[in-house]
Structure 1
Amino acid sequence: MSPRDLLLALVVILAWGVNFVVIKVGLHGVPPMLLGALRFSLAACPAIFFVKRPNVPLRWLLAYGLTISLGQFAFLFYAMYVGMPAGLASLVLQAQAFFTLIFAAMFLHERIRAANLAGLVIAACGLALIGMQGGHAMTFAGFMFTLAAAAMWALGNVVTKRMGRVDLVSLVVWASLIPPLPFFALSLIFEGPAKIEASLRSIPVLSIFAIAYLAFVATLVGYSLWGKLLARYPASQVAPFSLLVPIIGLASAALMLGEALTPMQIAGAALVMAGLAVNVFGGWLVQRYQADIR
């Protein structure tokens, strides 16, 4: 990877890692379902007038928008609203990698390899340690909703696999048209017209910044750069950079929000990161070992 593209990869990881702190800031002035509606409205318009519609059937576009866009962020925003710290949210959300393995095996009949299974078990132990710490700067409800968000992300990954090759930027932009109306409906049901009106009337400047960041930086800029990298390099070379997202998330939450982890949460975080690393690199290491002993 060239130095320029390496820098682009780090820019994306930084943008996505800080994203969780930005969500927390946005939720201080805007309730979660309304935040989701505003985020995706801004991400879709005016971008759809400049980005060509992806060449995929409408049913797959709807499936992607309802899982990765609506499902993931409805659960994630609500999780952080009810007490999930930004740093831990960035880490626990990476459980999507293991949900993806399970769902791909169930729906696409893909094989789960030994390295994948080992990584899943290690990360599951880490998630169990983190979950046991509910009440220590984290609510158990927030933890479970974050896992639900990870599961929705994983379902969206399976949908993407089912689509085949597709322009990532085009898919993200056009799929952003799908969540606003459901998000507004959820906001009306759970947050109520009075809260919506009050939030929009007195929306803080920081919340406006957060919505703009989520729509433009985390969504449009992040996925545009990531899509370019995936077009230039094998996925196996680009994907490992995503392991840095929870590291940036935990560090930025500690620096900007003063979040601190208990020793048990630190141990759990280390196990999750180890499980992710085994999942990503384990197969490659086994192949190298087998090649060396031949």
Structure 2
Amino acid sequence: MALRHFLLILLVVSIWAFNNIAIKWGLLDLPPLLMIAMRFVVVAIILVPFTRVTRQQLYYLVPLGFTFGFMHFALLFVSLNYTDAGTAAVIVQLGTPIAMLLAMVILKEKLRLVQLLGIMISLSGVVVLAGSPTIPNWWVLVLLLLSAFGWAISNMIVKKSPAISPLTLTGWLSFFAIPLVGCASWVVESDQLNLLLHSSWRGWFGILFSAIGSSIVAYSLWYSLLKHYNVNLIMPYSLLTPVLAVIMGVVVLGDSMNSYKAAGALLVIAGTAIAVINLRNLKMHARLPRFRYDRYRKKRTRP
């Protein structure tokens, strides 16, 4: 892998990790549903005028507005109002093994025994995290698990959908999520306009970083890297996101670190890594250039 691409990967996962910090800052000034609604407004304003969708694509984008926009993002923002950034990032990482289980049940995709073992390990990490004081109430854990479940369902929808470019997908699902999240904010929150007008830099930084940095810049870079490298080589790097989120939470926000949080995070991340990393494909990818060179050398030395 070229050094510049490796540095871009580190930049992307760092942006995703720091997004949790930016959200926590924003929540000091703004209620969670209002904040995520404004994030979707910013993304839609930037992307929707420059993208086009077909009627067939709309059948998939509308439900994504609910599963990805409301279930995943809105519930994540609400949960972050009650727990720390690192704990939330770790639990939401369960979206990956949950998606694998859904693919096995719905899409009839086969899972190897080692993958099932990894999923069981990651789920055991949630049991450990449930005892952490960073999760003050059981319903906060439920909200985070529902957020992970929303991410997993969204992956199933995207798998079944016709081809949609990443920026088009991001822009239009944000557009369809606006009325859902906006109505929820109107029902359970109050004084939204006044809070927006009198928000400090933290509120607007949280909105703009989440919308532009995380949604647009990071995902654009990520998908461009996927065009250059094998998926099995790139995807494991995403596991750095919760690790960096925990570290940033401790360093930047002063989040606490306890044995439950450390052990639970380790189990979730290690289990997810076992489930998603295909070592056989990684080895083949690593050996491929050498095999090609050997064939080339034999041709040159052939009498």
Fold equivalence (TM over 0.5): yes
Matched with 1:157 is: 155
RMSD: 1.9
Contact 2:87 2:134 in 1 (8 A): no
Matched with 1:62 is 62
- 1:183 is matched with which residue? 181
Structure 1 position 142 matched with structure 2 position 140: yes
1:48 is displaced (CA, Å) by 1.8
Which residue in the other structure is 2:171 paired with?
173
Deviation of the 1:55 alpha carbon: 8.7
Give the structure-1-normalised TM-score. Answer: 0.91
Q: What residue is the counterpart of 1:128 in the other structure?
A: 127
Please tell me whether residue 262 in structure 1 is matched to residue 258 in structure 2.
yes
Query: 1:216 Cα shift?
Result: 0.3
Q: Provide the C-alpha distance between the structure 2 equivalents of 1:108 and 1:48, rounded to a whole number of angstroms.
A: 31
- Return the match for 1:215 from 202, 211, 217: 211
Aligned pair in 2 of structure 1 residues 28, 283: CA closer, same or farther (>3 Å)?
Answer: same
Picking from 273, 279, 282, the partner of 1:277 is: 273
| Contact 1:20-1:86 at 8 Å conserved across structures | yes
> Counterpart of 1:109?
108
Q: Distance between the aligned counterparts of 1:151 and 1:197, measured in 2?
A: 31
Amino-acid identity (%) = 28
Corresponding residue number in structure 1 for 2:299: none
**Counterpart contact for 2:57–2:164, Cα < 8 Å:** no
Give the 3 Å change call, closer, same or farther, for CA 285–216 of structure 1 in structure 2. closer
Indicate if the aligned counterparts of 1:54 and 1:171 stay in contact, CA closer than 8 A.
no
Q: Which has the larger radius of gyration?
A: 2
Q: Relative to structure 2, which stretch is displaced further, 276-285 or 90-99?
A: 276-285
Shift of 1:54: 7.2
May I ask how many residue pairs the two structures share in their alignment? 283
Question: CA offsets, 1:200-224, max 9 Å, x none?
Answer: 2311211111101011000000111
What is the one-letter code of the residue matched to 2:99? T
What residue ranges of structure 1 are gaps of 5+ in the alignment? 289-294
Contact 2:232 2:281 in 1 (8 A): no
Contact 1:54–1:170 (CA under 8 A) maintained in structure 2 = no
Deviation at 1:69, TM superposition (A): 2.0
Alignment of 1:6-155 (within 5 A): 6-53=6-53, 57-81=57-81, 83-133=82-132, 136-140=133-137, 141-155=139-153
Q: CA deviation at 1:25?
A: 0.8
Whole-angstrom distance in 2 between the partners of 1:120 and 1:225: 28
* TM-score when normalising by structure 2: 0.88
Give the whole-Å Cα distance in 1 for the aligned partners of 2:282 and 2:241: 25
Structure 1 range deviating more: 174-183 or 47-56:
47-56
CA contact (8 A) 1:100 1:155 kept: yes
Structure 2 regions of 5+ residues with no counterpart?
285-303
The corresponding residue for 1:292 is none
